[in-house]
Amino acid sequence: MAIIESARDRERRKWQDPEAILKEIGLKLGDTFIDIGCGPGYFTIPAAKIVGEGGKVLALDNSLYVIDTLNGKAEAAGLTNITARVGLAEHFVMCEACADFVFFGIVLHDFNDRNAALKNARRMLKKSGKLIDLDFKKIPMSFGPPVKLKLSEEEAERLFEDAGFKIKSLRTIEPYSYLLIAGLE
């Protein structure tokens, strides 16, 4: 059964293609992907399709409503490899050293304690895993958080390095975003 995409997601897809981004970071069949601040599944659903039945997607959000929405989308798509939970990134660890990827999709500005969220991400990653931060540039836009809450690329790099991560790559995704990839090694 096809998932009906919202008008907002159709518009977002014009400037942020989740499948292309997930392939760019190296997500593949059999991987374990953790989507922190998953919302209703903009990246979660495509990730579940990419990792397939042999892979796992663990999704975390602080809203029961969006987790229920995500679960409905997963069911409609026939996806059984998603486990979604309600919780805060600062307080919740989905697993210990199990993830090939921990993904923050436009959520760092939402955390009350970014250091705690990164510490938990570190606990969830395999030694060879990748921490991904897809975020808005620190520029004025007609949507998204106010500029004062956003992290610039340099601020995000510093935050990740201070948390013990090694920056692997950083690139701009025009017109609004950047993609930071970090690891433990």
> Where do the domains of the chain lie?
7-13+24-183
pTM above the 0.85 mark?
yes
pLDDT bin (cut points 50, 70, 90) of residue 4 is: low
pLDDT bin (cut points 50, 70, 90) of residue 14 is: confident
Collect all residues with Cβ–Cβ distance below 8 Å to 29 and sequence separation of at least 6.
Answer: 50, 51, 52, 54, 55
Mean pLDDT of 153-180: 96
pLDDT at 154: 97
pLDDT bin (cut points 50, 70, 90) of residue 1 is: very low
Task: Kindly report the CATH number that applies to the domain delimited by 7-13+24-183.
Answer: 3.40.50.150
Q: What is the Cα–Cα distance from 185 to 161, expressed in whole angstroms?
A: 12
What is the average pLDDT value for the chain, to the nearest integer? 93
Please list the residues that pair with 136 across neighbouring strands.
177
